[in-house]
Amino acid sequence: MNDADVSKQIQQMVRFILQEAEEKANEISVSAEEEFNIEKLQLVEAEKKKIRQEYERKEKQVDVRKKIEYSMQLNASRIKVLQAQDDVVNSMKEAASKELLNVSHDHHVYKRLLKDLIVQSLLRLKEPAVLLRCRKDDLHLVQSVLDSAAQEYSEKANVHTPEIIVDNKIFLPPAPSLHNAHGSSCSGGVVLASRDGKIVFENTLDARLDVVFRKKLPEIRKWLCGQVVA
């Protein structure tokens, strides 16, 4: 092989090496560009995710705020209803109280009522012997109806006439008045207890006031249902 042939081979080898190097360079360039595009896409997706999460968070905040506002409006409506109910309750209770107090001031009506209260109490207790307490001012009225009340109970319960001991040392509080406006008071009635004191039945006009009032509660509900809360 002469020098010309050697030179030609060397040139071919150089061209081959340069071509191979250029192809490798192109491959590296394409690979780098792909990696760059992937990184860019990941950044875009991350940003989109961030924006979506922020939107959802704000949407939840709006939803919570709406719920709070609705709850506040509902509570305001409930407060108005309760206030209206309180007004009705107080007026009706005051009216019922006046009715019962008028009864206690009517001597003959109150005497009959005392007898009924004693009979009712005996029927509740169903004890052969009981202790009875009343207001000091009512003592003579209670004693005047005691025998007939015991007899009526005996006939209704089909039992022997019970022993009724009237307490003449400890009395129920006096009737309400301006003089004892802040003290304890009793509008009338009786309290009966078993001899051992384990069973006590309060049958005063104050207790009956609650009973009378509870009977009127359906009227209150009916009245409230007809109200339009603004």
Per residue in 110-147, pLDDT (tens digit) is 999 999 999 999 999 999 999 999 999 999 999 999 99
* Residue 220, pLDDT above cutoff 60: no
Q: What mean pLDDT comes out for the span 38-43?
A: 68
Distance CA 67, CA 63 (A): 6
Distance CA 109, CA 81 (A): 38
On average, the pLDDT of the chain sits at: 77
Q: Tell me the per-residue pLDDT of 178-216, one tens digit each, with 9 for 90 and over.
A: 776 667 888 889 999 988 888 889 999 887 777 766 666
CB 132 within 8 A of CB 142: yes
